[in-house]
């Protein structure tokens, strides 16, 4: 598999997931061009070797050992022409937001503190602070069924923290932004980042919001009303700052996090008869 990219056998993935889980995979392959990725995916499918793509590792709960191939894309180029921003799938949304503001373009300020890659943000229609990815998305280039194709926004089924793109590999995304006042945009980004520091868990490793907000309510409020702030299982704990965050405060294992998730779901269901839906993905 070396012809497709850099290969690491029995790779430790602690620095590839934002929970900082000390886990491993059989092979980690770093790929930096479309054709190599296309050939690699076809090879893995032909050999019936399981695999998944990893972005920034936010929104993910990894197993102790993944007996397959983890693919890390190295497609992080960003270009801005007039009001169109093009970004490779492994570019960080935060950098995209800051680069856009440098060009006096508004529409991505909400993403300035989002710890996600462009690809991950597109697939999950990630959002925070009143904005979400599909607000300004125009189209994507992606790999599907062994072919590189382009999908316009209208061709994609999407909603709150959802798209129908789970079987697609995002290669590049295109965003259409509006002209704005650079000083005002910088001020907005500062306000968003200050708000995040005050309201979200950032000292300890986490993977962002654990559950989707149920319609008309907030998962964090429900969890807090159940008295679960600072609830611990092993090295995992419900954040004292935001109840919809689980933090790795003391070398948490995958099982610690999953068991805490299950406990939260049980308690919220018991008290409110609401079945919380997981926003994070368990691999």
Q: Pick the catalytic residue: 58, 161, 239, 267? A: 161
Q: Where are the alpha helices (DSSP H) in the chain?
A: 34-46, 93-102, 118-124, 182-199, 219-225, 254-272
Pairing state of beta strands 137-144 and 147-152?
Answer: antiparallel
Structure tokens at 145: 């069924």
Q: Pick the catalytic residue: 112, 209, 239, 267? A: 209
Task: Please tell me the distance from the alpha carbon of residue 57 to that of residue 36, in angstroms, as a whole number.
Answer: 22
Q: Pick the catalytic residue: 86, 132, 267, 279? A: 279
Does the active-site annotation cover 161?
A: yes
What's the full length of the chain, in residues? Answer: 283
In which residue are the tokens 């697939």 written?
A: 123
Kindly report each contact of residues 247-253 with a partner whose C-beta sits within 8 Å and lies 24 or more positions away, as own/partner: 247/201, 247/203, 247/204, 247/205, 247/206, 248/19, 248/20, 248/21, 248/204, 248/205, 248/206, 249/204, 251/22, 252/19, 252/21, 253/21, 253/64
Task: Please tell me the distance from the alpha carbon of residue 138 to that of residue 178, in angstroms, as a whole number.
Answer: 13
Does the active-site annotation cover 209?
A: yes
Does the active-site annotation cover 196?
A: no
Which residues are annotated as catalytic? 161, 209, 279
């Amino acid at each position: 598999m070396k012809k497709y990219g850099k290969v690491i056998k029995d790779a430790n993935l602690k620095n590839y997931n934002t929970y900082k889980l000390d886990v491993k995979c059989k092979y980690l392959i770093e790929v930096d061009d479309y054709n190599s990725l296309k050939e690699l995916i076809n090879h893995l499918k032909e050999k019936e070797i399981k695999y998944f793509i990893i972005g920034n590792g936010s929104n993910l709960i990894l197993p102790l050992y993944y007996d397959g191939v983890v693919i890390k894309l190295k497609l992080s180029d960003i270009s801005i022409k007039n009001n169109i921003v093009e970004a490779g799938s492994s570019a960080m949304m935060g950098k995209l937001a800051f680069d856009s503001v440098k060009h006096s373009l508004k529409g991505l300020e909400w993403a300035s503190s989002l710890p996600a890659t462009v690809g991950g943000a597109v697939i999950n229609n990630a959002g925070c602070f009143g904005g979400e990815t599909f607000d300004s998305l125009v189209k994507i280039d992606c790999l599907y069924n062994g072919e590189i194709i382009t999908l316009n926004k209208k061709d994609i089924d999407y909603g709150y923290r959802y798209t129908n793109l789970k079987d697609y590999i995002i290669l590049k995304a295109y965003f259409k932004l509006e002209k704005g006042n650079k000083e005002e945009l910088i001020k907005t980004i500062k306000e968003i980042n200050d708000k995040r520091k005050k309201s979200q868990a950032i000292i300890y490793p986490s993977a962002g919001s654990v559950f989707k907000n149920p319609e008309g309510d907030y998962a964090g409020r429900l969890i807090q009303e159940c008295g679960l702030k600072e609830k611990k299982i092993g090295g995992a704990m419900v954040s004292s700052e935001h109840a919809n965050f689980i933090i790795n405060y003391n070398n948490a294992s995958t099982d610690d996090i999953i068991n805490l998730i299950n406990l939260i779901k049980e308690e919220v269901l018991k008290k409110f008869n609401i079945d919380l839906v997981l926003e994070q993905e368990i691999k």
